[in-house]
Structure 1
């Protein structure tokens, strides 16, 4: 997600581990419990170092549909599918750790050797580049305004004019954007909490990534209750992050993304998890 890291209002979460068979169609992951009792560090194909032999360990923060979320007891999503491509090329299987998002900006789990990469719908920013190395961009992101129908608003200007309550996910670029527009948004810990805040009347409108809103509106109850307002172009791009100096893994990730874009695999994954391709790419 276009998320900023930081400890604000974020409760400690138990690390949960998921594993996946590294196959092109292997988008679902089976839960295997907590802990990381593997064989220790190793090397994947091409001499790429990994923190656990035979695995590509990914840190993420659940849920953030459609990028990573649990469905029927399995972790699936756009980011999951793309990292599966990396794992397949490296001849290992992806293992996912559900971890607090505030560690991503500092690269804490990468530096400590708990994870090989972070994949969490994370925007590439100059500030984050100080602590981690990013892959090539894999997704162009925009923000969107979603409001209750009874509020009668479709723009941030209207929200401000009517003095309504605006919400956003804590420590995200959506929250930062709202603050930059003069709002003091109600901060929610997760995307699920953002939606619940809108449903329960804690806020009248929210700013969050457009793909997330698009997914919510596929539910008829949400579509009946809420109105999609303005699309906010922020020029953000998502990237996967690795420990600074991990050039071999970063190159492997870049190759998987670049190859997937060239051979049509990326478009298929995009259509499966995000929806119709942007204009000019269909």
Structure 2
């Protein structure tokens, strides 16, 4: 895939199937890819290609024509160990969590604020957890909401990001939701009155509320302890050396203080024990 001078490339859902087919053919024919001295397989020599889904601040988002964020900074540590640069490719989250983009050779690693689940483990090889997450409900100010049950009882409309654990969590508790393709679209749905509340990972909601205009109109209603942990992922059974190297990069960052520094730079004050292995 030829990238422009921008540090990431977008592939629309409509063209995704064709793009994956072409890339899968290229990879299977041996016309692309390389193996480093460490035995790490890369889809393109000289770079670590990362699939993500934009925007998802504070983990990955575009700023000043560049993709930045906590996940980006963490994978940069892996790229540094390989002596290459990270190149980011924007993909639909559905194709990331199912492993489709990794299987097709679009990227080497997936870094998308992705919760480790048993269902996803069937399609992906996950690293050790690198982030503890909770779900949060953001509502219009003035609404008396302290639980998902309150949304049902007051017949309020809930928005969620499609294919996410937040959406699954709401549905598992009997709350229907209007599904949005991205976190930005979800927030816009709340701003424009399409929904009365949204469910999203707490760090994302926390980041939204840093905007004065958002904080003026909306409030955090409830933080839901769901026991979720994020992981980076590689192709199922396809790149054990990269998986091991990424695990080592995460462990080293937690031990030498780099993790805490990046957490506070991109997410905010780090809770006690957040850097525990």
Query: Into which bin does the TM-score normalised by the smaller protein fall?
Result: 0.7 to 0.9
Task: Say if 2:241 is the partner of 1:265.
Answer: no
Q: Distance in 2 between matches of 1:281 and 1:269?
A: 12
Q: Distance in 1 between matches of 2:3 and 2:135?
A: 30
Secondary structure of 1:59's match? strand
Where do 4+ consecutive residues of structure 1 move more than 4 Å?
15-19, 32-37
Contact 2:60 2:67 in 1 (8 A): yes
Q: What is the Cα deviation at residue 281 of structure 1?
A: 5.8
Q: Which consecutive residues of structure 1, in runs of 5 or more, have no partner in the other structure?
A: 1-14, 20-29
Q: How many residues align?
A: 257
How large is the RMSD of aligned CA atoms in angstroms?
Answer: 2.2
**Residue 217 of structure 2 corresponds to which residue in structure 1?**
225
TM-score between both structures, scaled by the size of structure 1: 0.85
Q: Distance in 1 between matches of 2:162 and 2:211?
A: 24
**Residue 106 of structure 2 corresponds to which residue in structure 1?**
114
Distance 1:100 1:65, change over 3 A: same
The Cα offsets for residues 145-193 of structure 1, whole Å up to 9 and x where unpaired, read as 1100032323322222211111111111111111111111111111001
Q: Distance in 2 between matches of 1:16 and 1:69?
A: 21
Q: Which consecutive residues of structure 2, in runs of 5 or more, have no partner in the other structure?
A: 12-22
Contact 1:17 1:95 in 2 (8 A): no
The Cα offsets for residues 16-50 of structure 1, whole Å up to 9 and x where unpaired, read as 9588xxxxxxxxxx43767999x931233523121
Contact 2:8 2:87 in 1 (8 A): no
Q: What is the Cα deviation at residue 197 of structure 1?
A: 0.8
Contact 2:148 2:175 in 1 (8 A): no
**Residue 146 of structure 1 corresponds to which residue in structure 2?**
138
**Residue 274 of structure 1 corresponds to which residue in structure 2?**
267
